[in-house]
Amino acid sequence: MDINWVQFLTDPVTLASALACVATFATVMTLAAPAFNNDKLTSRLKSVANRREELRKRSRAALEGGEKKSIRVKDTSAFKKIVDKLDLVKMLEDPGVLKKLIQAGLRGPRPISIFYFCRFALPIICGIGAFVYIWFVNDHGLQLQMKAGVVVVGFAVGFYGPNLYLANLITKRRTSIMRAFPDSLDMMLICVESGMSIEQAFARVGEEIGSASAELAEELALTTAELSYLSDRRQAYYNLAERTNHPGVKGVAMALVQAEKYGTPMGSALRVMAKENREMRVTEAEKKAAALPAKLTVPMIVFFLPVLFIVILGPAFIKIDSMGLGKPTGVVDAKNPPKK
């Protein structure tokens, strides 16, 4: 039986069936398309999240280890026990001591305990030492009021000694950092313009600058760690400025914070700050050179002028003495009597 294809294809029933099949196929494909869509980014993010959660659980289990342990460093020294027993933190409260210890490079709980112990023990030791010396060893002919004053000075030296020592450490550390900081900014600028991120630049410069300033290398390494782990990256720059406590570093930290906030190029900010720090170093050198004559006035009067007078007037005095012009008239020398 021959089929009339023209009549079959033009039959309304056939056309309606074909349109129904096409519509059904399109509907099925539309509903099933999301299931066949292979989103690699979503799957990768999901796998990373799963892996992070797995590592967190493993790390927590390793830290607990049957007995819960803390990763925070604790001070178990005798200084800590004495400080806690006598409540020296409340007795000798100093709100800025933690900040000063950080600026001096003394981190952790142990330096705080040692500082408060020294604030408590040194006045007693120095006062008793001054009392024993001035009353039993050598009084130097002092009266009773002067002896009491010496003992009071001993107590004062012991009380303010830790603060003076801490201030000296802070000054030395800041000087070491600022001596190498302009060069580190130049190297950091080169690293950033070569394509490194700011974290890689800090890490690289910290490795290179260690021979010139170990303190600056330590600060850069700590800033690199904070940039990697802190939730707010700008806080790492603020911490760097607070630890160094220098106008140059504070300016660089503010410039980097502005660059992070507004998206300006890091290279431009570092170039401007490197130039300013170089000019600041030159200004400091010029200031020291200008203050040198005034500082040399007293040493010249005390040490140079007497020697200069001896060198100039010494030969003339020797010559006058050898000619006998310096002897009074009518006085006869007993060793060399005049010849008749």
What is residue 168's predicted lDDT score, i.e. its pLDDT?
Answer: 92
Q: Are residues 192 and 101 in the same domain?
A: yes
Number of domains forming the structure of the chain: 2
Residue 50 lies in a domain: no
Residue 107 lies in a domain: yes
Q: Would the pTM of this model clear 0.85, i.e. be above it? A: no
Q: Are residues 273 and 139 in the same domain?
A: yes
Residue 198 lies in a domain: yes
Q: Which residues contact 104 (CB under 8 A, 6 or more apart)?
A: 166, 169, 170, 173
Q: Are residues 1 and 133 in the same domain?
A: no
User: Could you tell me the mean pLDDT of each successive run of 10 residues in the chain, 340 residues long?
Assistant: 63 74 76 59 63 72 54 70 82 82 85 88 90 84 84 89 90 88 89 88 88 87 86 88 86 88 84 85 86 85 86 86 63 55
Q: Are residues 11 and 127 in the same domain?
A: no
What is residue 69's predicted lDDT score, i.e. its pLDDT?
Answer: 47
Residue 48 lies in a domain: no
Q: Are residues 13 and 136 in the same domain?
A: no
Contact call for residues 227 and 233 (beta carbons, < 8 A) = yes
Q: Are residues 15 and 86 in the same domain?
A: no
Distance of alpha carbon 99 from its chain centroid, rounded? 11
Structural domain of 282: 77-292
What is residue 135's predicted lDDT score, i.e. its pLDDT?
Answer: 85
The residue type of 60 is R
What is residue 328's predicted lDDT score, i.e. its pLDDT?
Answer: 55
Residue 120 lies in a domain: yes
Residue 319 lies in a domain: no
Residue 288 lies in a domain: yes
What's the rounded Cα separation, in Å, for the pair 205 and 202?
5
Q: Taking the alpha carbons of 256, 258, 260, 264 in that order, is the dihedral positive or negative?
A: negative
What is residue 57's predicted lDDT score, i.e. its pLDDT?
Answer: 76
Residue 139 lies in a domain: yes
Task: Annotate 311-329 with b (16+ C-beta within 10 A) or e (fewer).
Answer: eeeeeeeeeeeeeeeeeee
The residue type of 175 is T
